[in-house]
Structure 1
Amino acid sequence: DTPVLHYLGRTDDQIKLRGIRIEPTDIETTLTRHPTITTTRVIVRNQRLIAYYMSNGQPAQESLRDFAARLLPSHMVPTDFVAIDAFPLTPSGKLDRNALPDPAPVAVTGRAPITDTQRQLCDLFGAVLDREVADIDADFFALGGHSLSSIRLISRVRSTFGVNLLLGDVFDHPTVAGVAALVDGAPTATLTRPELVASQRPELVPVSAAQERMLVVDRLPETGVAYNYPLAFTVLADFDVEAFAAAVRDVVARHESLRTVFVEHGTGFAQHILAPDTSAPIDILDDDGTPVDQQIERMTAHRFDLTHDTPLRITIIRHPDRTTTVVLLLHHITTDEWSDAPLLTDLHHAYTARLAGHPPHWKPLPVQYA
């Protein structure tokens, strides 16, 4: 007599790209407002948003991207625009996504950087895109850039040149040559930033607006483990558990966000930063014979209680072949994709130091998250 709801799937084509849910139909409807586009379909392939379109003209990809950037949020602007004569269909008459062609390779002019600004920007483009960039006319988005990597580029430009670019600047001038012109033409007043100065920290630190929203949503039963952020890697050589546990303590002591709990305070929440000797819980298990991905899935099903749990817990799985799988489970309130590199770099540095019998030697962090 108890009603049961069976979840069979979605009736729409909503997609999730880099942590953001997107309705492709919203993008498609917007793109068909372009005077030359008659029909369009948007898909995700290799973490890139690609728009396929039929048109009654031959609009340039740059003009389509500019058109989309004026009407859509940056995370909904396609990376590539591909013109096709007809959409491939399955025998049942549905769009055959697998038959859609890959975007054509990027055509480059081969102009090498000439000025110091261009050379530095080639390095910045390459660092953000994780590929070599030697052509000052190559399009940032055609090379694999997207809205999040644009923000990273803006941050690196600010750190390197002291110039504050807007997201729209990158969309309007997506080449090394274009950004170099903006940097070289920036007024002198924008080239300095106030130095960050540490302030007195209260015992309870206010949460940010984003954290407060996340804390409210996290308490809803239907949220489940949606905010869990797992990282897993396999160690092929001998693994020193004691040295690794000491390294974890070092990293947790270094990064206050890894030893922060969130308590109710007044009508909202506040951050309570625990003592530096706080450590993340570490479970050590033997391989139970089931596929490793299933074991990892079980480890990452833990639901954090952020009023008591630190937002990091670790599981170590020892396999019969002497390899070891390490699962770091973090809560999204304390980390994101940008944090992966510094976290894993510090953990590797600390583990290497502990293997050598001493604590890691690193400069104190100039600021902490607050």
Structure 2
Amino acid sequence: FLGRADDQVKVRGYRVALGEIAQRLRQLEGLRDAHVRVDERGQLIAYALIAKGVQIDGESLRAQLGESLPDYMVPSHVLTLDAFPLTANGKLDHSALPTPQVISQQFEAPHEGVEASLAALWEKALNVEAVGRHDNFFTLGGDSILSLQIIARARRQGIRLTPKQLFEKQTIAELAQVAVLSEAKPAAAPIVAAVAPRDFALTPIQARFFALPMAQRSHWNQSLLLDLPQALDVAVLQQALALLLAQHDSLRLSFHQGDDGQWLQRYRDSENAERVLWTCELTREEDLASLSDE
């Protein structure tokens, strides 16, 4: 099948021609026409026009497509219509096409243990209220990126899976059978900062900096001007900065000149975020340049 280049999309990492899927649908018995699109979640949605007097549902059409198309080309939903919505010019009105409702036809709650844990991960990642053990991951809105997130979160809970397993075993019940259990990854132990010597020598690049003649050695920085849509909360910013100062020793470095004239550096035991974070309000933008030189 040779389709138009602008009719090709990427689904689960594969390049798919929407026209090819629509053509396969038109070849099925009882259908007059078909249209396939990709929704905002990256799912394939098909619309099929049913011939007069024919009784057939979307799931039956999905099953028939699955016999001739690879899994990634089978639409997540096939909606049957009597007629396509048209614009005043007689063209397909894409905005008027119905949106599929994600409803579990035969909900069966996940079993306790691995299934329940996986279902909770799916619910959070897919933003759905409840996941049954036979619900399809991709039908619920899953994609390759979400699958990687779920696999990473499952690993932290001691459930080992691979992307291939999730693509092949697309329900909780199937996936639980191939999951490998291991010990849950413990929370990272708090990092204890090593006790650094009080004074220590400069690095070569630091020594070069202090060897250069400079009028205002303490005024040496890189500036960045950000245009924000709303004012920052100074108190929250100070809290975040205080955590950074406590975590990263290099942010608490200070420099002083010894009796022999040599520059040395040391870590401050603590640093006040209020001293580091300087706030000032200006009424005129032209005053910004002079303020930056203070």
Length-normalised TM-score, structure 1: 0.42
Asked if 1:117 corresponds to 2:114, the answer is yes
Residues 152-172 of structure 1: per-residue CA shift (max 9 Å, x gap) = 4455556643344626x645x
Compare relative contact order (CA 8 Å, sep 6+) and give the higher one, 1 or 2. Answer: 1
Contact 2:85–2:96, Cα closer than 8 Å, also in 1: yes
Secondary structure of the corresponding residue to residue 130 of structure 2: coil
Q: Whole-Å Cα distance in 2 between the matches of residues 139 and 30 of structure 1?
A: 23
Corresponding letter in the other structure for 1:144 = G
Secondary structure of the corresponding residue to residue 71 of structure 1: coil
Q: What's the counterpart of residue 140 of structure 1? A: 137
Q: Whole-Å Cα distance in 2 between the matches of residues 360 and 58 of structure 1?
A: 63
Contact 1:52–1:81, Cα closer than 8 Å, also in 2: yes
Q: Whole-Å Cα distance in 1 between the matches of residues 167 and 140 of structure 2?
A: 13
How far did 1:99 drift? 1.5
Q: What's the counterpart of residue 187 of structure 1? A: none
| Structure label with greater radius of gyration | 2
Secondary structure of the corresponding residue to residue 358 of structure 1: helix
How far did 1:87 drift? 1.2
Residues 109-143 of structure 1: per-residue CA shift (max 9 Å, x gap) = 44322231211111221233133434323332332
How far did 1:89 drift? 1.4
Secondary structure of the corresponding residue to residue 62 of structure 2: helix
Query: Out of 159, 171, 174, which is 2:170 matched to?
Result: 174
Name the % identity: 28
Secondary structure of the corresponding residue to residue 227 of structure 2: strand
Q: What's the counterpart of residue 79 of structure 2? A: 82
How far did 1:57 drift? 5.0
Q: What's the counterpart of residue 20 of structure 2? A: 26
Aligned in 2, Cα 1:83/1:353: closer, same or farther, shift over 3 Å? same
Aligned in 2, Cα 1:27/1:110: closer, same or farther, shift over 3 Å? closer
Q: What's the counterpart of residue 69 of structure 2? A: 71
Query: Out of 56, 59, 84, which is 1:58 matched to?
Result: 56
Q: What's the counterpart of residue 358 of structure 1? A: 245
Asked if 1:95 corresponds to 2:85, the answer is no
Q: What's the counterpart of residue 198 of structure 1? A: none
Q: Whole-Å Cα distance in 1 between the matches of residues 162 and 74 of structure 2?
A: 22
| Stretches of structure 1 lacking an aligned partner (at least 5 in a row) | 1-9, 184-189, 193-280, 285-315, 325-349, 362-370
How far did 1:49 drift? 2.9
Q: Whole-Å Cα distance in 1 between the matches of residues 239 and 68 of structure 2?
A: 49
Asked if 1:317 corresponds to 2:227, the answer is yes
Secondary structure of the corresponding residue to residue 111 of structure 1: coil
Provide the aligned length of Structure 1 versus Structure 2.
199
Q: Whole-Å Cα distance in 2 between the matches of residues 351 and 31 of structure 1?
A: 60
Q: Whole-Å Cα distance in 1 between the matches of residues 143 and 23 of structure 2?
A: 20
Aligned in 2, Cα 1:128/1:88: closer, same or farther, shift over 3 Å? same
How far did 1:28 drift? 1.9
Q: Whole-Å Cα distance in 1 between the matches of residues 115 and 238 of structure 2?
A: 38
Secondary structure of the corresponding residue to residue 114 of structure 1: coil
Q: Whole-Å Cα distance in 1 between the matches of residues 70 and 79 of structure 2?
A: 18
Q: Whole-Å Cα distance in 1 between the matches of residues 89 and 34 of structure 2?
A: 20
How far did 1:50 drift? 1.4
Q: Whole-Å Cα distance in 2 between the matches of residues 170 and 357 of structure 1?
A: 40
Aligned in 2, Cα 1:162/1:105: closer, same or farther, shift over 3 Å? closer
Corresponding letter in the other structure for 2:59 = Q
How far did 1:64 drift? 1.2
**Is the strand fraction higher in 1 or 2?**
1
How far did 1:95 drift? 0.6
Corresponding letter in the other structure for 2:46 = A
Q: Whole-Å Cα distance in 1 between the matches of residues 6 and 176 of structure 2?
A: 42
Q: Whole-Å Cα distance in 1 between the matches of residues 8 and 101 of structure 2?
A: 26
Query: Out of 156, 159, 162, which is 1:161 matched to?
Result: 159
Q: Whole-Å Cα distance in 2 between the matches of residues 165 and 36 of structure 1?
A: 37
Corresponding letter in the other structure for 1:322 = A
Corresponding letter in the other structure for 2:130 = V
Moved more, 21-30 or 40-49: 21-30
- RMSD over aligned CA atoms reads 4.2
Q: Whole-Å Cα distance in 1 between the matches of residues 82 and 139 of structure 2?
A: 21
Matches within 5 A, 1:193-212: none
Q: What's the counterpart of residue 45 of structure 1? A: 39
Contact 2:46–2:75, Cα closer than 8 Å, also in 1: yes
Q: Whole-Å Cα distance in 2 between the matches of residues 18 and 139 of structure 1?
A: 15
Residues 268-308 of structure 1: per-residue CA shift (max 9 Å, x gap) = xxxxxxxxxxxxx8741xxxxxxxxxxxxxxxxxxxxxxxx
Aligned in 2, Cα 1:90/1:134: closer, same or farther, shift over 3 Å? closer
Q: Whole-Å Cα distance in 1 between the matches of residues 147 and 29 of structure 2?
A: 28
